[in-house]
Structure 1
């Protein structure tokens, strides 16, 4: 075995090692959360493509050909699996792959059919097309075989162009899903810092830049000539992206995970559904909550905050509040949105800020101590909420009122 560029080979091997280790860890966690399946599939699909330069050094020709052929369905599997992973992370109920989700795998299935047909081709044509890049070998084939080979090449080219469109579409869908998720979080949790998935947004932005370059290069490679890029830069970027996705993916739990068990133990008839962001009128049009019930729930909510001081619980969530006042969570959400005209997140933090104002005026506690004493998880979250509800920072408020 002769390695012409040892450092580049090491980068590629390191990427594969990260993928294999992370995918193994994710598969071991599937018993806890099914969401790890799509992420493991996404990493393994990336691994099949990342293995191409390594297979040229380590594997015999036959396995190199198989690696090349398997790269097409793997390419078409990356974006859908990342979409399913994001959907699972943001789901209000424990996610499992459904028949409805299976339609996202159709392009990869089409790629698999093309790959299976390509595997049945005589080895000399596989070698000439995929390894030695000698397309003239096709002219020696029979007429029927030439039609099949050219058909495969055209379909592969269409699939590669389709991957460009597919990736852009899923990128758009994931960003929209994350936007709605951030809104839905504030209907359920009073503290959202650990659930915002900002890492996924930044990763998508990075992947988007890399994708744009790769997509442009793939199109130019098939139509004109590819953009010349240092293989070291490409390998380094891929390693960083894979490492980031693996690291955060192994650390991240579903945003609504702590509500899964509360859904069955809190008030009867309450549900946590994956309803899309919509107007209150559309969202609650089938609700049986009447005005009198809403007023009673509103009174209970105010009592829970003023008398029971539930806002002091840093991990307060809608199901917890529902269990405390013995009311369905969807009725509480409707009451907050329609009767009190406020989201759960702002409702709780408003009371935290009111308590913090009293503490700032009548105590010598530090800003951080005040924030923690009224239920905030961090100083930054406290500053953001305080400024939103008062129009000034905690320090400025203390100077003004003392």
Structure 2
């Protein structure tokens, strides 16, 4: 098991080094990701110390690690929130750390009020019960896990709201979302909540029907946490961060509807003629510069169109161009897709099917046979 601890600590330390030396090291998102790794490293170090003589000499080490569990969902939410270019925390943001602070103060108070030998004796008794697979039910532990799960669910919900706001901005400003979309954080956060649900459910079941090997369960949970650390850091290191344009003032709403329609028709004509959609890095700002208008003006024009947002507009033109090439040429499908601005096979297949109701190969075969 010490090897697993070592692997987990190594993953967090390596990821921290990569994040701090990377081009995004000064971003608040990177700093929060580093904080998450520090929390996970400390947790694994505390686990290691519990199996050593050091913890018996300094019993305070036996009482601190459980409080770190109150931080996970909070910092994952902060990471989600930081994607919206939040550069600093307000005072009310720090109030989200209140459960951790209260838990830490309770642990310190308990340590001060209880003699060291009693703390050590209680810890050794728990270890003995685990070795003998005896029931470990404790109302204190049950309350702690209930609080952890409640906090996890609440902050998972807050993360969902932040990522939804972030996605709306992405769809309004970018034509490709590869490595800038952060939907992975929602999947990860959801799994993290589920990870905490497992022990409390098994804990209650094992109290009534002591058939689960507690040592194996703890080992399994530690392995899963190490695996989660690997998944999180793999995504964080590959995450691309974009500068989100600030909202500006616009007098577009004062224009007559006919003018919007004329501008929309001109936009469509320019896209068809100049094929700007073939640029895989095309953004709202870049297209606005091509058209010699402000990005806020282009946003208003798109609002009066049949397209949901900038992302939908550009990818609609990409799909239409690809449909023509699928019928008229024998070129490989992905070569056609990449030449028309897509930079991800999975995104291309998903968008093409959304727009046509068919896969690219099925569309080509069907239309080749009917032509």
TM superposition score category, shorter chain reference: 0.7 to 0.9
The one-character-per-residue Cα deviations of 1:128-180 (angstroms, maximum 9, x if unpaired) are 4763459xxxxxxxxxxxxxxxxxx9998755432221011112332343345
* Candidates 273, 291, 295, aligned match of 1:325: 291
How does the TM-score come out when normalised to structure 2?
Answer: 0.79
Verify: 1:124 aligned to 2:96, yes or no. no
Q: Which residue number corresponds to residue 31 of structure 2?
A: 37
Deviation at 1:125, TM superposition (A): 5.9
Paired with 1:77 and 1:340, the residues of 2 have a C-alpha distance of 44
Q: 1:18 aligns with which of 11, 14, 36?
A: 11
Runs of at least 4 residues of structure 1 off by over 4 A? 27-30, 153-160, 217-227
Q: After the TM superposition, which residues 104-143 of structure 1 pair with which residues of structure 2 at under 5 Å, given as runs?
A: 104-121=96-113, 123-124=115-116, 127-128=119-120, 131-132=123-124
CA deviation string 1:283-330 (max 9, x = no partner): x9x975234363454245224312322111111112222232233333
- The residue correspondences of 1:178-189 to structure 2 (distance < 5 A) are 178-189=163-174
Change (3 A) 1:321 1:74: same
Q: Determine helix, strand or coil for the equivalent of 1:289.
A: helix
1:252 is aligned to: 239
Establish whether residue 370 from structure 1 lines up as the match of residue 363 from structure 2.
Answer: no
Higher mean displacement: 366-375 or 37-46: 37-46
Aligned equivalent of 1:241 = 228
Q: CA offsets per residue over residues 182-227 of structure 1, 9 Å max, x none? A: 4442222211233333543443343233211134356789999896
2:303 maps to which residue? Answer: 337
Kept in 1: contact 2:175–2:310 (CA 8 A): yes
Q: Where does the alignment leave 5 or more consecutive residues of structure 1 unmatched?
A: 1-7, 135-152, 264-270, 274-283
Q: Provide the residue aligned with 1:87 in structure 2.
A: 81
Distance change >3 Å, CA 114–CA 219, structure 1 → 2 = farther
CA contact under 8 A between 1:55 and 1:64: conserved in structure 2? no
> Aligned-pair distance for 1:354?
2.1
Query: Secondary structure at 1:96's aligned position in 2?
Result: coil
Equivalent position of 1:356 in the other structure: 322
Which one of 181, 188, 195 corresponds to residue 210 of structure 1? 195
The question of whether the paired residues in 2 share the 8 Å contact of 1:318 and 1:329 is answered with yes
Q: Structure 1 170/220 Cα, relative in aligned 2: closer, same or farther at 3 Å?
A: farther
**Cα RMSD for the two superposed structures:** 3.5
- Residue 48 of structure 2 is matched in structure 1 by 54
Cα–Cα, structure 1 residues 383 and 341, in superposed 2: closer, same or farther, change >3 Å? closer
1:99 to 85, 91, 99: 91
**Which runs of 5 or more residues in structure 2 are unaligned?**
127-137
Q: Offset at 1:244?
A: 1.5
CA contact (8 A) 1:13 1:54 kept: no
Deviations 1:23-79 (A, max 9, x none): 344345564322122222223223333333310334513665233332243221111
**SS in structure 1 of the partner of residue 63 of structure 2:** helix
CA distance in 2: counterparts of 1:48 and 1:130, whole angstroms: 23
Corresponding residue number in structure 1 for 2:180: 195
Would you say the 8 A contact 1:356–1:374 is kept in 2?
A: yes
TM-score (norm 1): 0.74
Q: Counterparts of 1:395 and 1:45 in 2: how far apart (Å)?
A: 48
| Contact 2:252 2:300 (C-alpha < 8 Å) held by counterparts | no
Q: Decide whether the 8 Å contact of 1:73 with 1:110 is kept in 2.
A: no
1:290 to 254, 270, 275: 254
Q: Aligned equivalents of 1:334 and 1:175: distance in 2? A: 27
Bigger mean CA offset, 212-221 vs 107-116? 212-221
Q: Distance in 1 between matches of 2:78 and 2:266?
A: 39
Instruction: Give the paired residue count.
Output: 352
Alpha-carbon shift at residue 117 of structure 1 (Å) = 2.7
Distance in 2 of aligned mates of 1:189 and 1:345: 6
Query: Which secondary structure state, in structure 1, belongs to the residue aligned with residue 326 of structure 2?
Result: helix
Distance in 2 separating the partners of 1:15 and 1:64: 24
